[in-house]
Amino acid sequence: MKLFHKLGIHTLFFSSKDKRLASSIKMITGRKPLNLSLYRLALTPAGLSEESHQGFRISNERLEFLGDAILGAVIAEHLFKKFPFRDEGFLTETRSKLVNRETLNSIGIKIGLKDTLELVIDSRQFTGNKSLYGDILEAFLGAIYLDRGYQFSKKLILSRILIHMDLEGMITTVSNYKSKIIEWAQKENKTVEYKVIQINGNQRFKEFVVELHVDEESISSGKGPTKKKAEQDASKYACEKLGLLN
């Protein structure tokens, strides 16, 4: 079957609709799909899926889960290598900003998934949710991974997805939680104090536990190997609690 695919013999049996779909996919990935059904599944949003005999709903959501993981790994390596002097907090946060729903959605449209979806469904009859093309993009990456392997997916993500992500712009907005809290407190006219309440470990290894007090009331705590990191950690939780992250 694999040889069959490699020689392209399976394409002889493609309907004209399949052929159009296959060339649309080639436009996106640069290579003909080996297993077209994977891509067709990636182009099946949950809202459009039909129930199979066993009551199992077949949609692209499982592929989305897989694609999200592959995308996460590739972006992780890219950031790891691009920023050799930044800590893991920066890397984690930059990645989550890069792969957020809105960004993925607009990239999905840019690389042509909207047009490709229209080859499969009658989109006039279909209103997807807001992140429809982002979800499809992730599912599509899952399909590509299963169809062509990790190296191929990685190259594709780096050359055709990442270029649409405004990495430089994002970095400047990656937040300093502590400064967010302090800014907020100034605006709200509240006092802020970070209190070290515990130091674990010994001379060589330390773990600081810090409590963040707003108007003399503890609102969060955090920990880390340095006081600064513990303060950031506590501030992060406080930002979440106070809804300052949007």
Residue 216 in marked binding region: no
Q: Which amino acid is at 193?
A: E
Q: Are 34 and 49 in contact (CB under 8 A)?
A: no
Q: Map residues 10-49 to x or -, x wherever contact with a second copy holds by CB under 8 A.
A: -----------------------------------xxxxx
Binding of a second copy by 225 (CB under 8 A): yes
Binding of a second copy by 61 (CB under 8 A): yes
Binder of a second copy out of 202, 217, 243, 246 (CB under 8 A): 202
Binding of a second copy by 4 (CB under 8 A): no
Residue 64 in marked binding region: yes
Binding of a second copy by 112 (CB under 8 A): no
Shortest CB 50 distance to a second copy, Å: 10
| Nearest CB to a second copy, comparing residues 57 and 195 | 57
Question: Footprint of a second copy on this chain (CB under 8 A)?
Answer: 45-49, 54, 56-57, 59, 61-62, 64-66, 68-70, 72-73, 75-77, 80, 85-88, 91-92, 125-129, 142, 145, 150-151, 154, 200-207, 225-226
Which residues fall in the annotated binding site for Mg(2+)? 64, 135, 138
